[in-house]
Amino acid sequence: MARNLEDFIKQNYKKAIERHEIQAYFQPVIRTSSRKLCSFEALARWIDPELGMIYPDEFIPVLEKERAIHRLDAAILRQACARIRSSITKGETPIPISVNLSRLDFTLCDIFSVADQVVSDYQIPHDFIYFEITESVMAEEQEMLKGIVDRFRSAGFQIWMDDFGSAYSSLNALKEFSFDEIKLDMRFLHPFNLRAKRIATAVVEMAKSIDIHTLVEGVETEEQFRYLRNVGCEKVQGYYFGKPAPYEEALARLQEKGIGTEAPHERRYYDEIGRIDFLSAVPFMTREEHDTITTARQLNSIPLALAEFASDSFSVLFYNSAFEETASGTELFSIALDQEMLSQPQPYYLLSDKLINLIDSVKTGGDGRMLFTSNEEYFEVKARCMTKSREKYCVLIQLTNLTRDTQSENTAYLDEFVRRINDIFDRITLMNVRDNLIRPLNTTTKEDLLSGRYGIRERVREYAEKYIYPDDRAEFLRQFNPQTALDRFAVNGCVSFSELFRTSVGHGQYAWMEYTLLKIDRDNYFLLMRNVHETVTGFLRKNKVKVDGDGYFTPSHLWNNLLRSNLLRLFWKDRDRRFVGASQAFLDYYGFTSIEEILGKNDEEVGWHVHPEAYMNDEFQVINEGETIHFMPGLCMNEGENKEILASKTPLYDANGEIRGLLGFFIDRELLTVNDRRGTEIPRRDLLTGLLNSRGISEEATVFRDEYYMRGADFVRVHIMINDFNAYNEQFGFDFGDKILNSLGNALKEGFGHTCAVGRHAGLEFVVLHQVKDEKEAHEICKKVKAIGDSVRQVDGVPVTLYLSVGCSLFSESHNLKEQSKRCELRLHADRDHTVSAQSSLAHASEIFRLFDSLPFSYCVYHVSRERTDEADDAVICYVNHKFEEVGGASSGEVFGGSVRELYPYVGEEWFANVKRAAWNDEKAEGILTGAPDGKRYRYTARQIICPGYVAVTYQEEKS
């Protein structure tokens, strides 16, 4: 490099970054299976007014030498975030962007915190930013880097390995670090000969086998593109699809080429497809099976295809040569297979009905299998749904020619056998005790279509819990425990035995079924099931076998039925008021999964009453005085609200007549009133989330207020809102928006459920009421709310990042419910202004501000926070022009984001009041600023700019 260029770079890079002369250019990354844009890579370009374009190869080494590269990387990240922010704000499809990190970033600063701060300044969902790290980063200081990489990843950012294969340590790095994606260095492809192809193939295959996505850089021809697509490479980047260009230009060029943009909800779908190891049969094999296959040739010889099914068309995404060869002899697929037609929609009539049925049957999960004959040969088709999106799903298909495949002789034999006994039995299951495999061979139900699963004992247990009548379960498990069964065969020398069990036939009904275990050979057994209900009940009737004792139900029978039913919410406690037992209906009402959760606890320990004392007293009355209490009204926390219940309790006497505890039940008052008034009642619940609605919340609030006055228990009200919620609505549709609200609602309910009231009002705001001791605890609650927001990472399989605004107020602050709610709103908006509007407006504004760069007087833009009771007003610097830098003696980089109170302590309250008035009331405000270090007086004028909260201030020297 010319000496003087290097010097130029050294002297000017700071200014160039500040003045946006170093800009991010964007190069498209294309998804091979859909040929759509899936992300951009941001690449730095220095556009000097005199020298013109300077490329990264020239300035990056210099910045690294100057140990300033992290400033560039942060600036490029900021520009990338601003782009995404502006798409979100404008309601356009935001496109994920990858940015490059230099290996020095990791030592020059706390790069994770720097990056995370920028991303949250702009409130960008974390799955929209990817970080590329060159493999040479990995060499030194491995442990430290590993920690940082893990921090990025656990915060939901993807980390990509850039230039894979350009240095000798690539494979090592892959072993040491967890990456989401590798970018194959473009040198792999040049020249694009057989060797290049083989290497690319092997790397793609290897990456998939360790669950890493693949991208190849430097793709320049259609030939390269097709080859890479066919070996399963997921994404490509290169001049063939577009050179790096300014954002709008890059988008326009793609549009000219007819390349669309992937919607955010499609991303997960395609990522799942990308995981599929096309080149091998791994998807249909178990680990064990796979491990016995050692050569790639063996794997590649398994015929596989991948196809996508939408409501009115399907498209084949991929098939390997083995599939093509096998399918060519059949009528089943031949028309649909054609390299030219890959990814193109085709009509359903090209597929046989049988095949469509098979595909339908796996839509909801599981494997499907189908046999068919063609030209007197026997074929098997296996299908599995690999991933789904809203409008389509993707199925992997394996085709086997059974006639030729000698290994499948057994399968053919079994299949023949199955057909004959098919008519007699409702369900035929094959158990292979050697491999511990259970495989339904034929069933009348569609759900568990023929999928083989490991672990006979666990599967049998699962089955018993789901289908066998509770009283018969233990016996069923005893009989069909593989060990007992084998023993039975050994001891008796028999080849089969049968037992009767009542089995669920849906709708809560059970029918008598006969289960037969039939030995086929040493390892294989059939478990056969058939319905013998008629015969058995007939037999029972004929032989006058009464269901119970005298033809009536015994007390224990009644009791067991009562506990199982959802008729009564029953519970019983010992003398210390600790739970000893409860009915299923009771547990269901409170959402307990088992009695264990409350066993041995009293009400206070379960923590569900706002004022447990009331109950404590009447329980003591029951236990100590032997009283029975009828329909005592009270409140308890359930599903995030105070429920009015009517509880009845009576003493429990033992055989000696001593009180040993109490027996009680309760009813939900709401249910009674609903029944009474038949819908005249105004609903308290929000239909979408099942949380309280506005009315429900205000009723709850009065309960909390009464508690405050009666017992002095203070409570906090928290208002919660999702920032950018509308962007989600626009990007994913209103249904998805509803799902987000639902997820957050559920998360809040789960996080707080038993201890407070949770509701939703005004469409997208949530409210939490919670008893607290003091302000500190109130802030803990707010923190918990934000943490709950963070915990919602996926909605309907789509990754999301929810940024929440929160405002809270204690009842004791105002002693007035209305006032409390108003304070919450104000603080909520302050919280929001602080983040969203500030950054989103800035993203738009930074372009405009540059117009003021060379004004002859000082010009500065501030963001002023609205009144927050806990803080004094401050103004944050968003922009300063050159004159301001000159007068103030500090560069914009140094003051940007800084607070006026900290930077300029001499600025008086009058200035703050004026600036705030301008920012929020849209009035022009003027004044004189004194006390500056240069001793001069400045006349300033402040006006609102862009949106409320922002103010532009000019300073002119006042000559006296």
In three-state secondary structure terms, 868 is: strand
**Cβ–Cβ < 8 Å for 133, 163:** no
Q: From the CB of 167, what's the least distance to ligand C2E, in Å?
A: 12
Of the two residues 163 and 514, which places its CB atom closer to ligand C2E in the complex?
163
Q: Does 72 bind ligand C2E (CB under 6 A)?
A: yes
Q: How far is CA 38 from CA 24, 31, 251, 797, in A?
A: 18, 6, 12, 18
Residue 687 sits at the vertex; the CA angle it makes with 686 and 688, to the nearest 5 degrees, is: 95
60 binds, among Mg ion, ligand C2E, none (CB under 5 to 8 A by kind): ligand C2E
Of the two residues 22 and 88, which places its CB atom closer to ligand C2E in the complex?
22
Long-range own/partner contacts, residues 563-569 (CB < 8 A, 24 or more apart): 564/470, 568/665, 569/665, 569/666, 569/667
Query: From the DSSP assignment, how many helices (H) and strands (E) are in the chain?
Result: 36, 36
55 binds, among ligand C2E, Mg ion, none (CB under 5 to 8 A by kind): ligand C2E
Q: Does 82 bind ligand C2E (CB under 6 A)?
A: no
Q: Does 244 bind ligand C2E (CB under 6 A)?
A: yes
Of the two residues 145 and 327, which places its CB atom closer to ligand C2E in the complex?
145
Q: Contact letters (x/-) for ligand C2E, 473-512, by CB under 6 A?
A: ----------------------------------------
Question: Of these, 56, 246, 733, 948, which contacts ligand C2E (CB under 6 A)?
Answer: 56
Distance CA 356, CA 383 (A): 11
**Cβ–Cβ < 8 Å for 149, 159:** yes
Of the two residues 233 and 769, which places its CB atom closer to Mg ion in the complex?
233
**Cβ–Cβ < 8 Å for 230, 9:** no
Distance CA 928, CA 703 (A): 53
Q: From the CB of 174, what's the least distance to Mg ion, in Å?
A: 15
Name the one residue in this structure whose structure tokens are 């400033």. 71
Q: From the CB of 201, what's the least distance to Mg ion, in Å?
A: 20
Of the two residues 58 and 894, which places its CB atom closer to Mg ion in the complex?
58
Nearest to 768 by CA among 722, 713, 813, 824: 824
Q: Does 215 bind ligand C2E (CB under 6 A)?
A: no
Question: Of these, 33, 87, 102, 809, which contacts ligand C2E (CB under 6 A)?
Answer: 102
Rounded to the nearest 10 degrees, how much is the dihedral formed by the CA atoms of 737, 742, 743, 745? 130
Q: From the CB of 32, what's the least distance to ligand C2E, in Å?
A: 15
Distance CA 328, CA 292 (A): 29
368 binds, among ligand C2E, Mg ion, none (CB under 5 to 8 A by kind): none
The number of residues making up the chain comes to 960
Considering only residues 21 to 40 of the shown chain, the ones binding ligand C2E according to CB under 6 A are 27
Q: From the CB of 100, what's the least distance to Mg ion, in Å?
A: 5
Residue type, 788: I
Q: From the CB of 134, what's the least distance to Mg ion, in Å?
A: 7
Distance CA 949, CA 863 (A): 6
Question: Of these, 9, 16, 54, 60, which contacts ligand C2E (CB under 6 A)?
Answer: 60
Of the two residues 54 and 468, which places its CB atom closer to ligand C2E in the complex?
54
Q: Does 242 bind ligand C2E (CB under 6 A)?
A: no
Q: From the CB of 757, what's the least distance to ligand C2E, in Å?
A: 49
Q: Does 43 bind ligand C2E (CB under 6 A)?
A: yes
**Structure-token pair, residue 606:** 């379960």
Q: From the CB of 75, what's the least distance to ligand C2E, in Å?
A: 8
Beta bridge partners of 527: 429, 517
Of the two residues 57 and 596, which places its CB atom closer to ligand C2E in the complex?
57
Q: Contact letters (x/-) for ligand C2E, 105-144, by CB under 6 A?
A: ---------------------------x------------
**Cβ–Cβ < 8 Å for 385, 407:** no
Q: Contact letters (x/-) for ligand C2E, 153-182, by CB under 6 A?
A: ---------xx-------------------
Name the one residue in this structure whose structure tokens are 């779908």. 269
Q: Alpha carbon 372 to chain centroid distance?
A: 40
Q: From the CB of 39, what's the least distance to Mg ion, in Å?
A: 12
Residue type, 425: F
Of the two residues 78 and 916, which places its CB atom closer to ligand C2E in the complex?
78
Q: From the CB of 243, what's the least distance to ligand C2E, in Å?
A: 7
Q: What is the contact surface with Mg ion in residues (CB under 5 A)?
A: 100, 132, 162-163, 217
Of the two residues 27 and 858, which places its CB atom closer to ligand C2E in the complex?
27
Name the one residue in this structure whose structure tokens are 């990814």. 343
**Structure-token pair, residue 119:** 């991303």
**Structure-token pair, residue 52:** 């013109």
Q: From the CB of 117, what's the least distance to ligand C2E, in Å?
A: 18
Cβ-based neighbour number of residue 288 at 10 Å: 9
The piece of 100-108, 167-175, 601-609, 834-842 that touches ligand C2E (CB under 6 A) is: 100-108
Nearest to 714 by CA among 606, 805, 808: 808
Instruction: Find the distance separating the first CA and the last CA of the chain, reported in whole Å.
Output: 54
Q: From the CB of 72, what's the least distance to Mg ion, in Å?
A: 14
Of the two residues 106 and 665, which places its CB atom closer to Mg ion in the complex?
106
Do the bridges between strand 437-443 and strand 453-454 make them parallel or antiparallel, or are there none, so unpaired? antiparallel
Helical segments of 91-181, H only: 105-108, 111-121, 142-154, 170-176
Q: From the CB of 893, what's the least distance to ligand C2E, in Å?
A: 17
Considering only residues 833 to 862 of the shown chain, the ones binding ligand C2E according to CB under 6 A are none
The piece of 51-59, 119-127, 685-693, 920-928 that touches ligand C2E (CB under 6 A) is: 51-59
**Cβ–Cβ < 8 Å for 137, 111:** no
Question: Of these, 23, 79, 87, 100, which contacts ligand C2E (CB under 6 A)?
Answer: 100
Q: From the CB of 162, what's the least distance to ligand C2E, in Å?
A: 5
Of the two residues 42 and 305, which places its CB atom closer to Mg ion in the complex?
42
Q: From the CB of 839, what's the least distance to ligand C2E, in Å?
A: 21
Distance CA 778, CA 957 (A): 48
Distance CA 765, CA 745 (A): 10
Rounded to the nearest 10 degrees, how much is the dihedral formed by the CA atoms of 729, 732, 735, 739? -90
Of the two residues 24 and 276, which places its CB atom closer to ligand C2E in the complex?
24
Of the two residues 232 and 244, which places its CB atom closer to ligand C2E in the complex?
244
Q: Alpha carbon 821 to chain centroid distance?
A: 32
Distance CA 809, CA 377 (A): 76
Q: Does 220 bind ligand C2E (CB under 6 A)?
A: yes
Residue nearest to ligand C2E (CB): 238
Residues that bind ligand C2E (CB under 6 A): 27, 43-44, 55-57, 60, 69, 72-73, 76, 100-102, 132, 162-163, 186, 217-218, 220, 237-239, 244
